[in-house]
Amino acid sequence: MNRVQNTKLVLWLMTGFAAAIALNRYVFGLGVTTNLNDKTPWGFWIGFDVMAGVALAAGGFVTTAIFYIMKREEFHPLVRPAVLTAFLGYLAVVAGLLVDLGLPWNIWHMIIYWNPHSPLFEVGWCVMLYTTVLLLEFSPVPLEESSRYARVRNFLMRFRFPLVLLGIMLSTLHQSSLGTLFLIMPYRLFPLWYSHILPIQFFISAVALGLMMVAFESLISHWLYRREPETPLVGKLCGAAVWVLAVYFIVKMTDIVAAGKFGLIFNGNWQSDLFIVEILVSTLIPMALFAVPKLRRNSKVQWVGSSMVVIGMVLNRIDVGGLAMLDSTASYTPSWMEIAISLGIVSAAALAFLFVTERFHIWEIRPEDPQSLPHTPPSFDYSSRTWLGVPRIASLTKHTLAFVLSFAVGMAFMPGRKLHAEGIDSVTVSRATGIDTLCIDGNRDDQFVEFPHQAHISWIRTHKIPTSPADDTSGFALAGKDSCSVCHHLNLPGERLSECWECHASMYAQADFFRHDWHASPAGAKLKCDDCHTAGVTRTAQSAKKCTACHPFYKFTTIGVGATPAYHILSYTDAMHKMCVSCHVVEAKVVKDKQDLALCTTCHRVGTPPNLRAGMKWDISVPHFDNVVLPDVGLSVK
Amino acid sequence: MSKAILTDVTKCIGCLKCVSACKVAHNLEMDVPRVWDKNDGLSAENWTSVIRKDGDRYVRKQCRHCLEPACASVCPVGALHKTEIGAVTYDSAKCLGCRYCMMACPFGIPRYDWDKTVPHVEKCILCYDRIRIGEQPACTQACPTGATMFGDRDELLKVAHRRINENPSKYIKRVWGEHEVGGTSVLYLSDIDLDFLTYPTRPNGAALPKETAAAMESVPYAFVGMGGVMLGLSWIIRRRMKMDKEQGKKKEPSDE
């Protein structure tokens, strides 16, 4: 029975790991845990957890239809495990949705806010109702354990046939409606997958997948618990699957040929390759295998065939759900965190399945509980030879440890940089056309301004005080190669860049740009206090030397409101005006038919009195700021 | 009366005042480039953007406010809603974050707060609060050249066609947004091809919600139909089994 225990250990490990990642997803949001983006807002979680999950749980309605409607009594051993799988499968789907939804606590909104036009609304309602139906269908099983609940159980059993019928009807709707979801995006889905009969294709493939999932599950539990194999029954399922797969293949191919898309299959691009692989794995190869009666009664072939259908159909749902994109610029590969959470949800569902099968009457012959056997050997830790308690306690200890350890590993594995940078990409910088300056996105809202980057850094590049006017290239420069950190705050989280207004801080007054710390720093100018300040006098700006004493060729600000020859840089308004206005004034003289270029009112339009509009020329001394947007607080000055 | 915006690409100088005004009007934060951004300048903090094209052409991108919006038709809780005045508005209190609207939009407009723990869908709402009280949207108000303007959709369409007729050599003879996906409330006049604003193979004409309408209308029939088929099947099989049993009973005495 070690096989069961080891499997559980692995499942607990995956669950613990996923729990840690899920915690991070709720704390830090979708952006840092997934690779989802504005081009591919749906990804692995929708494709695998939701769409494939619902399809995988189709075994429930298929089996109940075979047993209760078609009265094939021989399938009785498969009904309970199939309904249980379906129930847990739908719970897993809901869990997957709760991870994927941006606002999962609003999931109940579908009950009160209705939009019947939406296929998702219909899917949501069907899933809600069907999960309830499955719960009611399954609950007689645990209730039969005690005679105390006999009345409740009898009451439920009376409604079993209507419940089964309702379950089949609801399944028909939402299995197909999952295909309807994609009908509205013909421009998004690759044509080989897009089809107007996608809902029908989804339904047929769900039936095939449901049959194969029941078979697959029987095979796994047979392996896991070393049960008597149900080979002849599974063989019958495989035989039925041949017909369903054949119908699926014919419907799909007819549709592709009728729509004139047949040539796309052999296009040779990755989408066409993917399509061929998908069709081969999900349909053609298993169909060929199971079509031979001798082969489909062989349990090894059953293994191969059923797992191929399961993998192939899951691939189909993932393809439709976001992988097979038409837009070649959209790039999405699921992040490892997305896959880890999905695996964790599946593991948790599998653990729940094992828990229920070991405690309730799911199979005709209940698996032997290893821990209840009187002769199980005592459990020791292999390395330390410590007795771990009675077997039940020992396995509990091991599983808890597995969960806790993998949870810790999961927390440790979170990429810290990604968390803190919150997905910040590098700042957009490009060269301005025709000018030897950079165009930077000053406040990162796509408002590019010409930014004399070199001038900002070049002065005293070599740590030398300029001795001739030729050395001095610009009036506004920072302190050479050390100056990077002034704007590129490498010490700040997220490597945020200073925005223009952080230095050109005041709207109208000029800002102080003197960097005292750099001048005093041993790594900078290496000046002692007395080098600038007069010794013995209180050290203030007034008691210090003028800048020009050391930087004789420094060009001081000469434009702007209250321009003073001091260590000042332009105000924001002046800096911005200099960028636009200086050019406008020059151009107005050149371009004869656009004299308005130099008018204030060309840019400042709103609110300017009409009598002023006509004659206003650029005059720096007149504050005219209608409709000017302040960069730092985002207010419009009127 | 349905309101609309008409943007004349030939008049736009790319000053981005519309972008700036939009940020102020909707209290949007300073934008930080993110790995999940598309390259069209739109983001959760930029509801409109200006795309630069060759030949100093600037094309403003924003929500197109379709007459039959795909986003509103797919939203399971109706958080997106086409108002009578023309704006497609978003109710963040209803939203559950399924992002189906982002998948369905033929222009790829809605953006998501991927970096937030409580994320919402972000898109232009045609300044619904302003146009409802008779003002015009912030972007059209801020435009210094009149490249983008606000008004009744019918009147703007007339203006657009008049401009094309008066200057047939200047414009491409087409008003973008007049017929695409059933018509949109944001119209474009241009001298360059604007098909890059939408996904490549969008079949022109029909509104997207029509694609799902047939499937959605057949839902009740499928529901009842499947129930009927199953009930019928069950009845036939039961009856056959019963007859088999009766025949078996009848046969039994004869066999004796």
At residue A366, the pLDDT reads: 67
Q: Looking at per-residue confidence, does A309 or A626 come out higher?
A: A309
Correct CATH for B3-212 of 3.30.70.20, 1.10.10.10, 3.90.420.10, 1.10.3720.10:
3.30.70.20
Nearest Cα of chain A lies from the Cα of B252 at a distance, in angstroms, of 23
Cβ distance of B36 and A27 shorter than 8 Å: no
pLDDT, greater one: A495 or A269: A269
Q: Is A184 in contact with B209 (Cβ distance < 8 A)? A: yes
Measured between beta carbons, the chain B residues lying within 8 angstroms of A102 are 95-99, 112-113, 119-120
Do the chains contact at A181 and B100, CB–CB below 8 Å?
A: yes
Closest residue in A to B37 (Cα) is A38
For the segment A67-94, what is each residue's pLDDT rounded down to a tens digit?
Answer: 999 888 889 889 999 999 999 999 999 9
Domain A34-334: state its class: mainly alpha
Stretch (H or E) spanning A453? helix A453-458
The span from the CA of A306 to the CA of B86, in Å, is 53
What 3-state class would DSSP assign to A336? helix
CB-based contacts of B93, cutoff 8 Å, min separation 6? none
Whether residue A184 and residue B231 make contact (CB cut-off 8 A), yes or no, is: no
Tally of CB atoms within 10 A around A150: 11
Question: Where are the domains positioned within chain A?
Answer: 34-334, 429-575
Give the nearest partner residue to B219 out of A173, A327, A635, using CB atoms: A173
For B224, which residue in chain A has the nearest alpha carbon?
A169
pLDDT at A58: 93
Contacts of B182 in chain A (CB under 8 A): none
Nearest-CA distance A504 → chain B (Å)? 17
Size of interface A-B (CB pairs under 8 A): 247
The pLDDT score that the predictor gives to residue B155 is 94
**Residue A250 pLDDT exceeds 60:** yes
Task: Check CB contact under 8 Å for A102 and B96.
Answer: yes
pLDDT band at A516 (very low <50, low <70, confident <90, very high): confident
- For A360, residues 6+ apart whose C-beta sits below 8 A from its C-beta are A141, A142, A145
Where helices occur in A45-159 by DSSP H, the ranges are 53-56, 59-64, 76-100, 109-112, 119-138, 140-143, 150-158
pLDDT of residue A18: 95
Asked if pLDDT for residue A202 goes beyond 50, the answer is: yes
Digitized pLDDT (tens) for each residue of chain B, 256 residues in all:
699 999 999 988 877 778 878 888 888 876 555 555 566 778 888 899 888 788 778 899 999 999 999 999 999 999 999 999 999 999 999 999 999 999 999 888 999 988 888 999 999 999 999 999 989 999 999 888 889 999 999 999 999 999 999 989 889 999 998 888 888 999 999 999 888 888 765 555 678 888 888 888 888 898 999 999 999 999 999 899 889 888 877 655 544 4
Inter-chain CB proximity A124 and B38 less than 8 Å: no
User: Are the CB atoms for A73 and A67 separated by under 8 Å?
Assistant: yes
Q: Which of B35, B71, B198, B233 to mutate to test the interface with A (most CBs of A within 10 A)?
A: B35
Inter-chain residue contact B211 with A115, CB threshold 8 Å:
no
- Quote the percentage of chain A above a pLDDT of 70: 66
Q: Do A177 and B77 touch (CB under 8 A)?
A: no
Identify the residue whose tokens are 């973008």.
Answer: B176
Which of A594-608, A622-636, B155-169 is the least confident region? A622-636
Q: How many helices (H) and strands (E) does chain A have?
A: 29, 7
Measured in angstroms, the CA of B99 and the nearest CA of chain A are apart by 6
Question: Which residue reads 């041993």 in tokens?
Answer: A522
Angle at A223 between CA A220 and CA A229, to 5 degrees: 90
Q: Please report the beta strands in B1-115, taking only residues with DSSP state E, as ranges in sequence order.
A: 3-8, 49-53, 57-61, 80-82, 88-90, 111-112
Contacts of B60 in chain A (CB under 8 A): none
**pLDDT-derived band at A443, boundaries 50, 70, 90:** very low
What are the chain B neighbours of A326 within 8 Å (beta carbons)?
Answer: 199-201
**Strongest mean pLDDT among A368-382, A518-532, A596-610:** A518-532
B212-227 confidence digits (pLDDT tens):
888 888 888 989 999 9
Q: Which of A165, A180, A445 comes nearest B31 by C-beta? A: A445
Which tens digit of pLDDT belongs to each residue from A118-163? 999 999 999 999 999 999 999 998 888 888 888 888 888 898 899 9
Q: Name the residue ranges covered by the structural domains of chain B.
A: 3-212, 218-255
Highest-confidence segment of A340-344, A565-569, B23-27, B54-58: A340-344
**Which residues of chain B does A180 touch, with a Cβ-Cβ cutoff of 8 Å?**
212, 215-216
Question: Which residue of chain A is at minimal alpha-carbon distance from B208?
Answer: A184
Burial A69-81 (b: 16+ CB within 10 A, else e): beeeeebeebbbb
Residue A265 has pLDDT above 70, yes or no: yes
- Could you give the ipTM of this predicted complex? 0.90
Contact B72, B81 (CB under 8 A): yes
Interval A477-487 mean pLDDT: 58
| Cα gap A455→A386, rounded to integer Å | 72
Return the top range by mean pLDDT from A149-163, A358-372, A551-565, A597-611.
A149-163
Which tops the pLDDT comparison, A17 or A296?
Answer: A17
Residue A411: predicted pLDDT: 87
Among A517-531, A606-620, B66-80, B234-248, the least confident range: A606-620
- Tell me the mean pLDDT in the region A472-492: 52
Residues near A518 by beta carbon (within 8 Å), at least 6 away in sequence: A479, A482, A524, A525
**Residue A542 CA: distances (Å) to CA of A513, A546, B148, B198:** 16, 9, 53, 62
Identify residue A373 by its one-letter amino acid code.
L
